[in-house]
Structure 1
Amino acid sequence: MTDVQDRALGALTGLALGDALGMPTQSMSRERIGRELGPITGLVAGPPDQPIAPGMPAGSITDDTEQALLVARLLVDGDGRVDAREFADALMAWEQRMRDKGSLDLLGPSTSAAIAAIAAGGDPAEAGSGGTTNGAAMRVTPVGVAVSSSDPDALLEAVHDLSFVTHNTGLGLSAAATVAGAVSAGIDGAGLLEAIGFGLALGRRAERLGRWVAGASIPARAEWALRQARTMTTAELADFLSDVVGTSVQSQESVVSALLITQHFRHEPFDGLCFAASIGGDTDTIAAMAGAMLGARFGDAVFPAAAVQTVVDVSGIDLTRTATELLELRGAQVHAVAP
């Protein structure tokens, strides 16, 4: 494979692996995770009393990867364009399938509210006007794979088109643009910190596209936090994320936490995903976003092959095919990897 193919596959692989690592700990406190599971060092099954994924097999993905792959399929089938109503219908159908099989892993608060409004006859352009949580950011990685950072305007437009239905606020769109921008720049060969910087710059532009809601700017908050965390030990970072940044479903917390983990663990990506799975809160989403950004920079080989194969086998997903199809949409030149 070319370097671009390695990194595109790495983005999807990191997303799925991080998601599966965080599956058994999602919505649990850091203290409870440490007491009942210990530090996460690999794939484990969901405990019987897991709040969302009780008893799920080790290696199972959650809504983060499932919805990202749904976005990928819509992008491929639509030759890079997705109708807003079609996207809403696809999300509703996905949730119904989850309900039919008894899953507790359903749509998040912002997405659920938007889809309910559309189902009741509301305008898709207005349905996402309250969406501030991380649902758009968690499923946006395929957009970063499909659209090159060499055309920021096209990338921003694609992020908006796949996000506004459920997250049409400055916060929701900024969160998604930051993740997609970092992924896309990483695939194009940017260094990790450069890719994060590109994502934050795209996130600043996205703030102006959606409805204003009260809340701290994600790029501004992230830039401050990244500076503070630059010289922290891993133990200090854990306390900083838990006590200062936050690890909830709110975009200002989870997206910033994912960026900090990406920066800190740039030399040990898999350890970073295990750390994210151990930190408490929205662990599967934080680990998935960090995994996507790390994988986009370093390629799929940076993750343990056995763990990746377990996720692929248990969840029945074909990440290689998806990456190939998204790259066909991208049409980017192969860039040399930055030092």
Structure 2
Amino acid sequence: MGAMAGLALGDALGMPTQSMSAEQIRQYYDGPITKLMNAVPQQPIAPNMKAGAVTDDTEQAFVLAQRLIDDNGCIDNTRYAHDLLQWEAAMKAKGSLDLLGPSTKAALQKLTEGVSLEETGRFGTTNGGAMRATPVGIAFRPGQALADAAWRSCVVTHNTVQGIEATTLVAAAVSFAIEGERDFLHLAVEFVQKLPQRGNWSAKASVLARVQYFMNWAETDGCRLNDDEFAAVLQRDCGTSVESNESVAAAFAIAARFFDDPTHALCFAASVGGDTDTIAAITGAMLGAWHGMQGFDKTMLDQVLSQLAEDDHLDLVGTVTSLSALRDDSALNDANIV
């Protein structure tokens, strides 16, 4: 529950600031984000969205969760592609198509043009797979079945080394945290390091290497910096764009720095600039998997979960219950711990 709730809260905190610079965030929101905010008219992607609303990060995580549940843990990518196309149509109907990420947009367009599922995601290096990976981490204990499910969830839209590494890192971090492993961030890195590479080659930097570098920096030299200095290094040296080797690395670094203060972590992520909703969503999912729902500010969390149920008609409790049943399925997870 903490993982999915943390994802939604981070997404909602980052919604009004996504694709804005840190300077613009301070200008339009009178300083860094400290609470749920209405999006200003100048918001480039989600203008005027109301405080507490979630974006495609949360919605696509629920799409993947339902596919995992319906397919008993083994994703049918033909059906999953259909799910994503249906979701895209719903986004169009409510005028929110601009909330789609670039890799997902391109892949879904190729699907409509008849391109095979093996080819649609071959250029997807952005963070769309990682932002929706939390259900995989809930449904599978750490092991090969988790790695396979993370890979399958990427094939349609993010079938690259970077897309698959990013997705598997987030899913593994969530899963190790649920297992009660306090060192879940480092264990996720070690887990992915041991896996053979999957996906199409890209000349872009390694997600795994950059996650490891910036997380280690956050725990060593980064500790001596104040929050503004820490943010400046992330902005300058790590990057906070939709590319998975930037945003996922930033999320791991933020989670490491603010490990014991999840709400502060999400507010910081929402204020850092760039792909803030996804960085905060991933950070929230990972820290929520460890701390549980009680790790977050109750007033903010209650508002987001209320809107999730009433406005988006997403069943958090039912979804997590069904995913947890998959995790407990011995046929899926026997001898799966590594």
TM-score normalised by the chain length of structure 2: 0.92
| Distance in structure 1 (CA, Å) of the matches to 2:57 and 2:191 | 22
Q: 168, 171, 180: which one pairs with 2:159? A: 168
| Distance in structure 2 (CA, Å) of the matches to 1:22 and 1:271 | 13
Unmatched segments (≥5 aa) in structure 2: 331-338
| Distance in structure 2 (CA, Å) of the matches to 1:332 and 1:195 | 22
Amino acid at match of 1:330: R
Equivalences for residues 1-339 of structure 1 within 5 A = 9-37=1-29, 38-149=31-142, 152-191=143-182, 194-205=183-194, 208-230=197-219, 231=223, 232-316=225-309, 317-331=314-328
| Distance in structure 1 (CA, Å) of the matches to 2:162 and 2:196 | 6
Residue aligning to 1:336: none
Report the secondary structure of 1:148's partner residue.
coil
Amino acid at match of 1:228: W
Q: Deviations over 1:265-297 (max 9, x none)?
A: 111110000000001100000000000000011
Moved more, 216-225 or 292-301: 216-225
Q: Report how many aligned residue pairs link the two structures.
A: 321
Q: Deviations over 1:238-285 (max 9, x none)?
A: 111111100000001000000000000111110000000001100000
TM-superposed deviation, 1:104: 4.0
TM-score normalised by the chain length of structure 1: 0.91
- Which stretches of structure 1, 4 residues or more, deviate above 6 A after TM superposition? none
Report the secondary structure of 2:157's partner residue.
helix
Report the secondary structure of 2:54's partner residue.
coil
Report the secondary structure of 2:7's partner residue.
helix
Cα 1:274–1:60 change in 2 (3 A) is same
Moved more, 308-317 or 130-139: 308-317
Amino acid at match of 1:199: A
> Percent identity, aligned pairs only?
47
Q: RMSD in angstroms over aligned alpha carbons?
A: 1.4
| Distance in structure 2 (CA, Å) of the matches to 1:216 and 1:130 | 14
Amino acid at match of 1:44: M
Cα 1:105–1:308 change in 2 (3 A) is farther
| Distance in structure 2 (CA, Å) of the matches to 1:61 and 1:179 | 19
Report the secondary structure of 1:281's partner residue.
coil
Amino acid at match of 1:15: L
